[in-house]
Amino acid sequence: MADTTDATMSPWKPIKATAVLVLADGTVIEGQGLGAVGHVVAEVCFNTALTGYQEILTDPSYASQIVTFTFPHIGNVGANGEDIEDLTPAARTGAVGAIFKADITNPSNYRSADHLDAWLKRRGVIAMSGLDTRALTALIREKGTPNAVIAHAPDGVFDIEALKAAAREWSGLVGLDLAKAATSGQSSSWSETPWVWDEGYGEQSAPSMHVVAIDYGVKRNILRLIAGLGAKVTVVPATTSADDILAMKPDGVFLSNGPGDPAATGDYAVPVIQDLLKADVPVFGICLGHQMLALAVGGKTVKMHQGHHGANHPVKDHTTGKVEIVSMNHGFAVDSKSLPEGVEETHVSLFDGSNCGIALTGKPVFSVQHHPEASPGPQDSHYLFRRFANLIRERKGEPALAER
């Protein structure tokens, strides 16, 4: 009888890996390549959100990071031009890599304009599928976010030793200022308001206040929500001086989210924030902006073991006693024990007790670690934007908006 175990006769042939994830400790994980071709070194994190993959991948706070999606099926809503979050998509700020369990799902949504794989290629994001994302997530939870190289080569040829060296030698995010790469190149005006079902995005044509947003890597939906509350929004680069900001006569100043180590960005941002606090202008910060506000008043920030990345995080607002379900995306956190007198801890994570918000006693200044614009609740945290607007309206002698 003929030997039917010959590999040339078997219908079951091993699939050649066209992508690899090489961790700094030398671990090599194989998969199938998607998106752009090439390789990049970055930090690997995981995100537990069930939806919003396009917003996640275009969030500038994910710069120099590879996002592992714990939800197994990604791509079913396709991709479109409305769901990107970075202000300057041509600069390709956001995640540099993506990891999926299954191959990209074909789009099945009326808003889809493109297949996710084609969109990843155009954006230059290297991706891979076909690996055990649950095991990778467990590894990150146990050992912390690793430095790694993600590589995609259609011919399946990789210089593994060179990739190991690149992952091993990369210094990581600590001490890295990424806001200068994510920020706008010049000042600009923003008037687009939030999306409405069957109407799309609106336009703010009759603003009643002026907010200057310092762009450390701002997300579009943050600007939409500020504009939607009646603000003319002026977006300025991260390195803009306090004198230039105050010369614009803002009714309030917003400190945006962004990537990298807050202590590194704080080298030039903290003195500006301190001058704005002296000017007694209402200030609201989110994510990186929250962390740098804490630095500006004498607090400290620390690198987290695995970070918080997801859309199901419970946070308690001590000012109201209410719990909200929020979206998180941060690898650094404010050390609540370092906060000086005169700074109140307003929000705390119910997962691990880490700081999620502060307010300055007797001043119109506050910030939060989470992303109230990302709508996981879906609008649990939108009151924070109305809280900011009310600080401005109070100064202008106007009636307050209902926070809820």
User: Catalytic residues, which ones?
Assistant: 287, 371, 373
CA nearest 182: which of 101, 264, 88? 88
Q: Which amino acid appears at position 403 of this protein?
A: E
Considering Cα of 157, then 161, then 165, then 168, what sign does the dihedral take? positive
Which two structure tokens, joined as six digits, stand for 391?
A: 């600080």
CA nearest 310: which of 379, 225, 371? 371
Considering Cα of 65, then 68, then 71, then 74, what sign does the dihedral take? positive
- Start-to-end C-alpha separation, the chain: 78
Which two structure tokens, joined as six digits, stand for 342?
A: 């005169």
Which residues are registered as beta bridge partners of 303? 332
What is the maximum alpha-carbon separation in the chain?
A: 95
- Asked if 313 contacts 330 with a C-beta cutoff of 8 angstroms, the reply is no
DSSP helix/strand/coil, 106:
coil
Number of other residues whose CB lies within 10 A of the CB of residue 168: 16
From the centroid of its chain, how far is CA 123?
A: 17
Which two structure tokens, joined as six digits, stand for 295?
A: 């630095």
List of residues 6+ apart from 366 with CB closer than 8 A: 283, 284, 285, 346, 357, 358, 359, 360, 387, 388
